Each structure stands twice: as C-alpha cells, then as structure tokens.
Amino acid sequence: MKKITILGAGTWGTALAAMLKKENGHDVVLWSAIPNELDELSRSKKHPNLEGLVLPDGIIFESEITQACRGADFIVFAVPSLYVRETAKKIALSLDEKTIIVDVAKGLEKGTGMTLCEVIEDEIGRKNGGIVALSGPTHAEEVALGMPTAIVAASENAEAAEAVQREFSGSFFRVYTNSDIKGIEICGAMKNIIAICAGISTGLGYGDNARAAIVTRGMAEITRLGVAMGCSGRTFESLAGIGDLVVTCMSRHSRNHRAGVLIGKGYSAEEAKKEVGMAVEGLNALPAALELSERLCVELPFCHALSEVIMGTLDVKEAVNSLMLRALKPEISSDKQ
C-alpha cells in the first residue's frame, strides 16, 4: 500500500483517485486549490462531470498542499496545464527526494515550449530523479466506470516508470512503460490541437472521409515536430501516439473535439471554451506549438490554420478545404510518414 497524492480534483484527478483507492487499495489524498470543490466531493461522493461514479470511502480531501504531499510515495499532477508551474512551485521546497512525480496533464508551456514534465523538473530542481508522464487514450469518464483502459508510463528513469506500472495497474487499467518521455508528452499535447481541427470538420457537417484524413495527416504533423525535437519516430505509432489521437478525435467525451465542433458551427474560441465548461488543452497548447514551429523550422499546417481561424483571419470552411485540397511542399504532400 502506497500513499498517492492527486493534485487536482477535475475529472481525471477524481477518476484516478477513485480507481487507486477502490481497485488498488492505496492511501489516496485528493487536493484542490478550490476548497468548495473538495467540500462538495467529500459531501456528495460524486463529481458533476463523472456520471455513475461514487467515490469510495477512505479518500482524504485536503486543501493544504504541503500537508497533502507530506510523506507521499507518488504525487500526481492532474491540474490544468496552465497551472502546472504554479503548482510545482508550491511543493518544491517540501518535496521528498524519494517521491515519484507523475504528470497526467497534457500540454506545452507558452514562451518556453517546455513539456509539462520539463516544467515540473524546472521548478523542483530534480534532474529526472523520478518524473513520469502517464499518458494515453484514457477518458476519465470511462476509467470512472471501470472500463478496460491502457496507458503508458514514460520516463528516462526506468525504475520510476516501472513503479508507476506496478502500483497503478489493476483489473481494468493496464500500464505499459516507455523511455521516450518527451515523445510521449509531445503526442499528448499536440493531439488535442488536431482533435479541435477534427471537431471543426464535424461541426461543418463533413463526414468520416475528412475526419480520417485529418487524423492521419495530423499524426504526420505531430511526428514531424517530435522528430525535430529529438524524439523517437516509433513513439508516434504507439498507444500514446496514434492511439490517443484517434480517441481524442473520435470520442463524445473529448472536450477538444467538442470545442472544435462548436467552432465549426460558428462559435468563437472563447464561446466554445465557455460552452464546454472545462479546460480545452488544445487551445492552451497552440501558442507554444506555433513558437516551436518557427524556432525549429517545422511545417505545422493544422496548427497555423487553427490559429488563423481563432484570430478570424481565415474562414473555418476555407481552412478545412485548404488543408484537404491545397498543393503543399513535396515533403509535406507526400504520404510518407
């Protein structure tokens, strides 16, 4: 039995807390920066966005972050990407060197282009002494209901990845390991951008043909960026690569796809975010992706088209049609991955 602290009581953090307590029998502490959120979870044992989940007894709800993290074997970052650095800074001075850090948030930091594990490492001053990215095709809504799920624990520290695999795996939750942590994180961040583009296509009334093209060419775009950043090309063919992209572009649970559908129907990006009511991480990652595109001289046509749509300089229908039909540079228009 391990002490596992979950930072963030959103859908993913809450679903993990329930699973790790009920299925794995760990001592679980759930922290949130919003005390009222914790009070309601403690009282009702339910999360408003996780239908069918009843939280098991024994989860500790803690609003003081230092207390929540004290003595933890694992600390899981499940806060929105925009708050990862701020949260890491809060625990940096009191962090036990033996504690394994697990990040389940997906994104890229604007201005630095850092992945979220790099942001955490930057704040806590630990040179990969046990930082793991836990990522893959995993909707919280299905994990909360105990549906079969597979995910990847990625770290350069094999012992840390294997510890997460051992302690997080369960009857319906299978954890694989991978050493390409940056590649896994690039997949997790970039797939949300492509999912918005797929949603826009759906919102315009286009069908499976267009969506399949966006998924396939979107994966090529993600791979180009990842390889330019020194990642393994094979990572993008994996569960946390193409697997996560497919589920995020196809599922009714995907908030990024849902936001894209709304944008395709004429909503502004801000209106779409408000309607979704939860973090739309693809919109948060987009500025950093554009910065990386310029810095590394990597063609990211989906990212640039989405940016123009958001700014209002490109019509949504024109954006999708141009991505599908326009003549591109030979190395971009080739179907080679």
- β-pairing verdict for 149-154 and 131-135: antiparallel
Least confident residue range of 123-127, 131-135, 296-300? 123-127
Annotated active-site residue 191? The verdict is: yes
Does position 329 have pLDDT exceeding 70, yes or no?
no
Q: The tokens of 1 are what? A: 């039995």
What percentage of the chain has pLDDT greater than the value 70? 95
What residues pair up with 76 in beta bridges, in sequence order? 6, 102
For residue 174, list its beta bridge partners. 150
pLDDT band at residue 326 under the 50/70/90 scheme: low
DSSP annotation of 110: T
* pLDDT surpassing 60 at residue 334: no
Q: What is the mean pLDDT of residues 272-276?
A: 96
Q: What does the CA dihedral 264, 336, 187, 132 come to, rounded to 10 degrees?
A: 170
How large is the average pLDDT for residues 158-172?
A: 97
**pLDDT for 97:** 85
Q: Is pLDDT of 325 > 70? A: no
Tens-digit pLDDT profile for residues 58-101: 999 999 999 999 999 999 999 999 999 999 999 998 888 899 99
Please provide the average confidence, as pLDDT, over all residues in the chain.
93
- Residue 129's pLDDT is 57
Q: Which residues make up the CATH 1.10.1040.10 domain(s) of the chain?
A: 182-333
Q: Does an H or E element contain 103, and which?
A: strand 100-103
pLDDT of residue 94: 85
Task: Indicate where the chain has its CATH 3.40.50.720 domain(s).
Answer: 3-179
From 3, 191, 273, 336, the catalytic residue: 191
Listed in sequence order, the DSSP H helices in 47-83 are: 65-69
84 with 119: CB under 8 angstroms? yes
Region for 108 from its dihedrals, namely left if φ exceeds 0, alpha if ψ lies in -120 to 50, beta otherwise? beta
Residue 179 has pLDDT above 80, yes or no: yes
| pLDDT at residue 229 in the model | 97
Q: What is the pTM of this model?
A: 0.93
The pLDDT assigned to 269 comes to 96
Q: Is the pLDDT score of 4 beyond 50?
A: yes
Per-residue pLDDT tens over the stretch 191-215: 999 999 999 999 999 999 999 999 9
Measured CA to CA, the distance from residue 315 to residue 113 in angstroms comes to 28
Q: Regarding the domain delimited by 182-333, which CATH topology (the fold level of the hierarchy) does it fall under?
A: N-(1-d-carboxylethyl)-l-norvaline Dehydrogenase; domain 2 (1.10.1040)
Q: Name which CATH class applies to 3-179.
A: alpha beta
The bridge status of strand 173-178 relative to strand 131-135 is unpaired
